[in-house]
Structure 1
Amino acid sequence: MTDHAAPPSIRIHPADNVVIARRQLLGGTVLADEGGLTVAGLVPPGHKLATAAIAAGEVVRRYNQVIGHATQAIAPGQHVHSHNLAFANVARVHEVGAGALPTAHAPEPATFMGIVRPDGRVATRNYIGVLTSVNCSATAARAIADHFRRDIRPEALADFPNVDGVVALTHGMGCATDSAGEELRVLRRTLGGYARHANFAAVLVVGLGCETNQIQGLIAQEGLQEGAKLQAFSIQDTGGTARTVARGVELIRAMLPEANRVQRVPVPASHLIVGLQCGGSDGYSGISANPALGAAVDRLVRHGGTAILSETPEIYGGEHLLTRRAASPAVADKLLARIRWWEAYTARNGMTMDNNPSAGNKAGGLTTILEKSLGAIAKSGTTRLEDVYEFAERITTRGFVYMDSPGYDPVSATGQVASGANLICFTTGRGSAYGCAPSPSLKLATNTALWRKQQEDMDINCGGIVDGDETVDEAGERIFQLMLATASGQATKSELHGYGQNEFVPWQLGAVM
């Protein structure tokens, strides 16, 4: 079947009073599947049109959920978007645990070719990392890592084919903040998560020397242990930038032989921890790529693996769907506590939780945060919500879990990797260009037009669901198999382009002083 043979609109739920344009619809088009409804005016692809008269103030439903209220009367067949639809602060009913069904485990667990560390942790990649305590040491850290870039100095790692690379993960924080405050604790938690990440064979931490984020404070808070696989020093103690770079290069040279000794072996898929992201979303995200990723997540959980949903501002208004799946009232309470924290956080910064979607989201057909959130939650599949974690907190529970984070993708994914994610799956309808280090990132296109236009950045096309060529479950199986292949070492598109180092963005919570 081709997209021209498929019906011109997509109905998600019988109770909805809007449908989604499968392709651009011209005025006068008759929707036979909607009882002969006639389109009134141009409706772009991925956008909504009314299937019945909607009075001003009446709610608009998609996914059988309220996505807003009409700001003016809307006639059947008319385009429904920001000109006539607005956010509605509706009460959510929390049926805690009503949908928390036990997970049926797969009889024969899937496997991938992973790297088993001496302590039993399993890696999907094998990097050496250069971390910084403060922005002031970023230039030196990058110079150290650049010395080992295969595209600039191929000889530097010629004798170490099992090392995926040396990457510098720098940031703009580490000073001018409260020395006993939340922001410093979260930064250290993030850096600590990266320092102990299974995908790093060894790590070098470079500081300036006088910063608020003292390296010894980081090591103490995170319980890190200096040694052959974790080296730390500062520019001021070493005697300047040139000496710091030279010292860092020598330390990494000493780390390389041991890092190169790894071998990939078959391991159960239960060792996969997958961070779920969506960015540059469109009207198709909640129809194709997100539910397809959810189907893959259900498979992963059945095989004993872990999936992390995040981006709290982008589940707002749909949190009742997650509390319904909570394993216990305590888990539901933890999620709702994070929602309340965000409401207070945005209020004290002069913002509101409905300050979303973005311009690109709206161009793609999303109108309100409620609509965006309901589609975003589909990434999580259908299994029980086992636990809720704060940003960059280490994940210790298997199955589907939640980690609090902003909706800004680089920050959110940074937190997920710090929590232990060894793979990221990132859906996009507009064409987000994103990669991650040290964990590989797969990008899932929501529509075939994007896939054709930006195939060099997209790893898999979920547009066949929209076109009528593939089911959500079939796409979910393809995604799950690609997860296993990627975890086994198959390069992602973003890895081929060299993405990953600039996308390390810790969450800057507080005031810069």
Structure 2
Amino acid sequence: MQQRVLKVHPSDNVIVALTDLKKGEVITFEGVDYELVDDIAAKHKFLTEDRAVGEHITMYGVLVGKAKQAIPRGGLMHTFNTTHASDDFGLGTRKLDWHKPDTGRFEGRSFMGYPRQDGSVGTANYWIVLPMVFCETRNLEVMREALVDSLGYAKSQVWKDQTDQLVSLYKAGKSVAEILEADVAVETTTGTSSRLFPNIDGVKFLNHEMGCGGTRSDAQALCGLLAGYVTHPNVAGATVLSLGCQNAQVSILQEEIAKRDPNFSKPLLVFEQQEIGSEEKLISEAIKQTFAGLIEANKLERQPAPLSKLVIGLECGGSDGFSGISANPAIGHTSDILVALGGTVILAEFPELCGVEQELSDRCVDEPTALRFNSLMKTYNSRAEAVGSGFYMNPSPGNIKDGLITDAIKSAGAAKKGGTSPVVDVLDYPERVTKPGLNLVCTPGNDVESTTAEVASGATVVLFTTGLGTPTGNPVTPVIKLSTNTKLYNKMNDIIDINCGSIIDGNETIEHAGERILEYVIQVASGEVQPHSVRLGQDDFIPWKRGVSL
């Protein structure tokens, strides 16, 4: 029989409903009876004791809110009676002991990746085309039209086929009602067009709306982000289109590349329009030289690499009340296994670490690392508060509807993605990770901005948990989607790869799910399995314009 409720931490004074509970029901948990005074929808919480105005509400063992009106024992916790609250934090003592998971199943295992000269190993092999400024967007699109279809990287024409059928019905004189009722179903396969270059996974175009018109620090950050992609293990080479007069100069990009890889040796093809002259000549030369670069890049082949060469980004989006008790701790266990094997994981989304700062600060390997984390968190929140916001405003309407009532609840659950290992480094956007182990990278909570940044920091695979469903992907790194609940997986299994709702259903432990996830990661990293984000071409890419984005 499925468990109906769950208390996450012994010190919590809330209990999570795993199924819908009705007002008047008596719920027995650990020998104590609780009579519900409200309906409690699945994913939401009820109080285990009366709370007066201002009294603390705890979950995951930390302060997550205060009562803003009296809440009775057995009453629903929601935005009308609870306000965000979290404990302050500072420089504490080092807490570096952790219980390493059993890694026996994965000892000596490898994946088939692309070795790079800097010692990193890619899980894919892409060529990227990027503009230094938004003025080059049209030229980028012309190159995309010229290269993608001809090289065999076009996605399915299924929706074009459907539109063609609708056009035929319209031309045949059918009414709107007849068109809407017509059966225009088409095959939803992605096609099997043959690639000209079988060892190249694609040519990706990193469009953006930055490069000029902002501050010089915006341009510097953009160049750092783009350098992260140019030097990325999943990238074989890059074509750069520059106008010439923009703030984001090619020279800055080259400086940022050198910071990340002093011995950089990948092909970097730069075309500056104001120097070359005609648009026709610019595009023609860019296409020809890119094609020549692809010929060389196609000579690379996958080779065995130890799991310690994996760099996994941890992300969540469209979170719900089950995120922190199913999918997030499951990939937290995956993270711990990988760290124990000598691999690297990246935990980002700093607005979603609000309330657990002290725990993460104390897990930093030394005081300078802890101080940097504390400083980045406080500075980021202060900037948000200066324009009338703050980390407490991070939960979205969808988060709240599905049980994440305060930012501290959302954050405490989100932090579970990072597992329990020590924090070896703290990085600011868009720095690159250099140390194996758990790294914290300052990014917004925005799904696409954060995923874009994690990849720039070196993530070669991204694990992305969701409770509500989201189609986020990335141009060069496979993004694996994991659902927090079985209902979502069954409803949206065309975009979600792994179901962690089995934990909520009582059919699987967190530890077993974590191992199952790592097995899937190995398959994806070896090119044996293509996650839905890659299959569907979900190439989301949004640089963070440093400012207030939660």
TM-score (norm 1): 0.93
Give unpaired runs (5+ residues) of structure 1: none
Aligned positions, number:
503
Displacement of 1:155? 11
Match of 2:154 among 134, 151, 156: 151
The answer for the alignment partner of 2:415 in structure 1 is: 377
Residue in 2 that maps onto 1:25: 21
Aligned residue in 2 for 1:167: 204
Please identify, of 265-274 and 115-124, the stretch whose mean Cα deviation from structure 2 is larger: 115-124
Cα distance in 2 for partners of 1:241, 1:24 equals 62
2:58 & 2:384 partners in 1: Cα distance? 26
**Structure 1 match to 2:162:** none
Match among 225, 230, 252 for residue 268 of structure 2 = 230
Could you tell me which of 37, 57, 62 is aligned with 1:60?
A: 57
1:77-105 CA distances to partner (integer Å, 9 max, x unpaired)?
21111111101253347543124448689
SS of 1:166 mapped into structure 2: strand
Partner AA of 2:49 in structure 1: A
The one of 231, 244, 248 equivalent to 1:209 is 244
Cα-Cα RMSD:
2.2
User: How far, CA to CA, are the matches of 1:208 and 1:434 in structure 2?
Assistant: 30
- 1:200 alignment counterpart: 235
Which of these residues, 468, 482, 492, is aligned with residue 454 of structure 1?
A: 492
Letter in 1 for 2:307: A
**Counterpart for residue 505 of structure 1:** 542
Give the 3-state SS of the residue equivalent to 2:391 in structure 1: coil
**Equivalent position amino acid for 1:59 in 2:** H
Indicate if the aligned counterparts of 2:112 and 2:302 stay in contact, CA closer than 8 A: yes
Task: Tell me the distance in 2 between the aligned counterparts of 1:477 and 1:51.
Answer: 34
Distance in 1 between the 2:322 and 2:208 partners? 34
- 1:470 aligns with 508
Q: Give me the whole-angstrom Cα distance separating, in 2, the residues matched to 1:441 and 1:391.
A: 20
CA contact (8 A) 1:110 1:303 kept: no
| Aligned counterpart, 2:214 | 177
Give me the whole-angstrom Cα distance separating, in 2, the residues matched to 1:18 and 1:319.
21
Alpha-carbon separation, structure 2, partners of 1:348 and 1:132: 33
- Confirm whether residue 91 of structure 1 aligns to residue 130 of structure 2: no
Correspondence for 1:82 among 79, 82, 87: 79
Deviation at 1:416, TM superposition (A): 1.3
For 1:350, what is the secondary structure of its paired residue?
coil
The offset of 1:19, in angstroms, is 0.7
3-state secondary structure, aligned to 1:486: helix
The counterpart of 1:493, out of the listed 532, 541, 545, is: 532
2:314 corresponds to which of 267, 276, 285:
276
Cα distance in 1 for residues equivalent to 2:426 and 2:309: 19
Does the 8 Å contact 1:228/1:255 carry over to 2?
no
Residue deviations 1:247-294 (CA, integer Å, cap 9, x gap): 222122111211111211211011111111111111111100000000
- Whichever residue aligns with residue 124 of structure 1, its letter is T
Aligned ranges for residues 7-46 of structure 1 at < 5 Å? 7-33=3-29, 35-46=32-43
Residue by residue over 1:406-461, the C-alpha shift from the partner in whole angstroms, topping out at 9 and shown as x without a partner, is 11121111111111111111111110111112111011100111111111111101
1:375-404 CA distance string (max 9 Å, x none)? 111000011111101112121101111111
Provide the rounded CA distance (Å) in 1 between the counterparts of 2:57 and 2:89. Answer: 15
Single out whichever of 306-315 and 181-190 deviates more from structure 2. Answer: 181-190
CA separation in 1, counterparts of 2:297 and 2:379? 42
Equivalent residue number for residue 248 of structure 1:
286
Answer whether contact 1:103 1:384 (CA < 8 A) is retained.
no
Q: Within 2, Cα distance between the matches of 1:469 and 1:102?
A: 24
| CA distance 1:381–1:216, change in 2 (3 Å) | same
| TM-score, normalised by the number of residues in structure 2 | 0.87
* Structure 2 unpaired stretches of 5+: 157-190
Q: Alpha-carbon deviations, 1:286-345, whole Å to 9, x = none?
A: 100000000000011111100010111110121111112111111111100101221332
Per the TM alignment, residue 28 of structure 1 is displaced from its structure 2 partner at its CA by 2.4
In 1, the alpha carbon distance for the partners of 2:193 and 2:512 equals 43
Matched, 1:419 2:457: yes
Distance 1:157 1:452, change over 3 A: closer
The farther-off stretch of 99-108 and 37-46 is 99-108
Tell me, yes or no, if the aligned pair for 1:105 and 1:304 is still in contact at 8 Å.
Answer: no
CA distance in 2, matches of 1:299, 1:364: 30
C-alpha distance in structure 2 between counterparts of 1:27 and 1:206, whole Å:
62
Determine the C-alpha separation between the residues in 1 that align with 2:486 and 2:271: 49
Question: Following superposition of structure 1 onto structure 2, how do residues 347-362 of structure 1 map, counting pairs within 5 Å?
Answer: 347-362=385-400
Output the CA distance in 1 between the equivalents of 2:233 and 2:142.
24
Which is further off, 113-122 or 287-296? 113-122
Q: Is the 8 A contact 2:90 2:374 kept in 1?
A: no
Segment of structure 1 superposing worse, 94-103 or 116-125 = 94-103
* Conservation of the 8 A alpha-carbon contact between 1:410 and 1:504: yes
- Other structure's SS at 2:255 match: helix
Please say if 1:136 is aligned against 2:135. Answer: yes
Which residue identity lines up with residue 207 of structure 1 in the other structure?
S
Shift of 1:156: 9.8
Between 439-448 and 248-257, report the one with greater CA deviation.
Answer: 248-257
- 2:531 corresponds to which letter in structure 1? T
- 1:353–1:143: structure 2 CA closer, same or farther, 3 Å change rule? same
Change (3 A) 1:356 1:217: closer
Structure 1 residues 120 and 266: CA distance shift in structure 2, 3 A? same
Shift of 1:238: 3.2
Partner of 2:159: none
Which amino acid in structure 2 is aligned with residue 508 of structure 1?
K
CA shift, 1:120, in A, is: 3.0
Counterpart mapping for 1:222-371 below 5 A:
222-223=257-258, 229-371=267-409
Aligned pairs (5 A) from 1:384-463: 384-463=422-501
Q: Check conservation: 2:100, 2:337, Cα contact below 8 A.
A: no
Aligned partners of 1:322 and 1:221: how far apart in 2? Answer: 29
